Amino acid sequence: MIRKLKSGEFRLFSRKKGPNGKRRNLGTFDTREAAEKHERAVQFFKRVH
């Protein structure tokens, strides 16, 4: 899940909520394209391992 921050950056959050009840931060990126690219890499890694 990608959300735009007030600073204008994009942050990638996990789909599931973590142990603290919040979504895990999977990285902050300057552009939405970079966040989407990293999200694809995360999904690929989940399937490989």
At residue 30, the pLDDT reads 98
CA distance 23 to 25: 6
Position 43, amino acid: Q
pLDDT tens digit string along 26-43? 999 999 999 999 999 999
If DSSP states are collapsed to H, E and C, what string results for the chain? Answer: CEEECCCCCEEEEEEEECCCCCEEEEEEECCHHHHHHHHHHHHHHHHHC
Band of pLDDT at residue 49, cut at 50, 70 and 90? confident
What is the domain count for the chain? 1
Which residues have a Cβ under 8 Å from the Cβ of 3 and sit 6 or more positions away?
10, 11, 13
Residue 48: predicted pLDDT: 86
Q: Which domain holds residue 42?
A: 2-48
Residue 5 has pLDDT above 90, yes or no: yes
User: What average pLDDT score do residues 17-25 get?
Assistant: 94
